């Protein structure tokens, strides 16, 4: 079972790294709404790799606006994947 705070921190760290790589300011208080669409897509792709879960395919169900909600979404997708694999 993934830890929500750890997943959130991983998402924030990924977003921060991508923003800085793109020459954009990214401080401690970075929010999901601060990201442009390109960075969001790159972040989700990176998190797919990090957690080995297909996120883009399921993102139509994501309605959140915060990193914490994104963490919840990732955990649900990981749990579903684990369930499928276990089944």
Q: Which residues bind other proteins (CB under 8 A)?
A: 32-33, 35-38, 40-42, 44-45, 56-63, 65
DSSP string, 5-20: HHHHHHHHHHHHHHHH
Task: Give the residue with the Cβ less far from other proteins, 1 or 63.
Answer: 63
Task: Give the residue with the Cβ less far from other proteins, 5 or 36.
Answer: 36
Task: Give the residue with the Cβ less far from other proteins, 57 or 82.
Answer: 57
H/E segment holding residue 80: helix 67-86
Residues 6+ apart with CB under 8 A from 48: 54, 55, 56
Rounded to the nearest whole angstrom, what is the least distance from the CB of residue 60 to other proteins in the complex?
3
């Amino acid at each position: 079972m993934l830890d929500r705070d750890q997943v959130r921190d991983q998402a924030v760290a990924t977003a921060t790294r991508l923003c800085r790589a793109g020459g954009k300011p990214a401080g401690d208080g970075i929010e999901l709404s601060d990201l442009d669409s390109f960075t969001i897509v790159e972040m989700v792709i990176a998190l797919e790799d990090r957690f080995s879960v297909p996120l883009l395919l399921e993102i139509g169900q994501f309605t959140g606006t915060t990193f914490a909600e994104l963490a919840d979404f990732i955990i649900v997708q990981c749990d579903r994947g684990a369930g499928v694999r276990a089944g």
